[in-house]
Amino acid sequence: MKNLFTLLTAILLSINLYAQNANAIIFTENGERFQVVLNGVIQNTEPGTNIKLTELVAPQYKLKIIFEDKSLGEVDKNFYLEPGAEVTYNLKRKNNGEWALRVISSTPIAQLPPSSTPVPNQNVVIYHTTPVPAASTTTTTTTTYTDPNSNVNLNIGLGGVGLNMNVTGTGVGTSTTQTTTSYSTTTTTSVPPTHIHQTPPPNSTTTVVIHEHEPEHIHVVPGYSGPTGCPYPMSDQDYNGIKNSIMSKSFESTKFDIAKQVLGQRCMTAAQVKDILGVFDFESTKLDFAKFAYGRTYDVGNYYMVNDVFDFESSITDLNRYISSYRR
């Protein structure tokens, strides 16, 4: 009877563990964009550098990683999960060229802080067993030009109604674009400004330059004109929110892991790097993160200010040696 009770208890425990969903976060340190395939089904239609998979119901899946850059190859592995936990994996290429999926951290889902703010550059995907319809995009563009020496026939389409007219005037160019795109994933990205140059048709001397809207919240370093290590540093508001999240953790290793995971996908200023190093207690942790953050710093010419956080000269020497050998 005792053995039967023990057996039943073990079975019930295993069923309970299996019933708990799991989350998995997979990210690349160097910005390689990829798609995740679980049991033959693509989970994220748009490649990304940080993919969060939620509501994973099984303890094991057949995992395939497909890189946007086909020269990087593919990854095929058996993917093991912890029921009821959110596990973060680092997808990293080893010295021999093979890809490794290493566990960075594991946190029970019940202990995760509630958050309504998406992590920057993270694609959140609910696990599904059927393929997601591909994104559909419909774009309609109408461009008109007039020339002072010629009559131009304008064809304008509005809501399915056509309008034709002959116009003579000075060189003018207009462009109207309407784009509708639908995706099944949640993506937060920062897009740098682009400049589209269009050349008018023959017999016209007008060149139209359309400047798209620049991304919001671009934060630059006033007065800085030196070399840059990344496109646009995050705003102080975004940085302070991330810093507060890191500071809320109790253990040094947890702070370090979260800082690498979150800030690894962002561009910082040297002042922000110096400030975040103050969150850490140990000299070795500060040095490791200072090396990690150098390649993600906007005003690298100001990186000397980071030296102020170190207590030992040997740490400064080690960091400067790393910077001297760093290849962008």
pLDDT over 60 at 32, yes or no: yes
Q: Cα separation of 131 and 276, whole Å?
A: 41
Q: Please tell me the distance from the alpha carbon of residue 262 to that of residue 285, in angstroms, as a whole number.
A: 16
**Rounded to an integer, what distance in angstroms lies between the CA atom of residue 87 and that of residue 25?**
6
What band does 94 get if pLDDT is binned at 50, 70 and 90? confident
Count CB-CB contacts under 10 A for residue 58.
Answer: 14
Secondary structure percentages of the chain, helix, strand, coil, to 5:
30, 35, 40
Q: Does residue 157 have a pLDDT over 50?
A: no
24 vs 159: which has the higher pLDDT:
24
pLDDT digits (tens, 9 = 90+) for 168-210: 444 444 444 454 444 444 444 444 443 334 444 444 443 333 3
Q: What tens digit of pLDDT does each residue of 96-113 get?
A: 888 988 888 888 988 887
Q: What is the mean pLDDT of the chain?
A: 75
Binned at pLDDT 50, 70 and 90, residue 305 comes out as very high
* Domains along the sequence of the chain with CATH: 2-126 (2.60.40), 136-182+190-211 (no CATH), 236-325 (no CATH)
Q: Is the pLDDT reported for residue 260 higher than 50?
A: yes
For the chain, helix (H) and strand (E) counts, in that order, are: 6, 15
Would you give the DSSP letter of residue 210? E
> Average pLDDT of 215-239?
77
In the block, which residue shows the tokens 């400049």?
195
Higher-pLDDT residue of 66, 162: 66
> What span, in angstroms and rounded, lies between the C-alpha atoms of 228 and 230?
6
On the question of pLDDT at 158 being above 80, the answer is no
Question: At 299, is the pLDDT very low, low, confident or very high (cuts 50, 70, 90)?
Answer: very high
Helix axes 252-263, 236-247, angle to 10 degrees: 150
Lookup: tokens for 64: 């395939």
Residue 128: count other Cβ atoms within 10 Å of its Cβ. 14
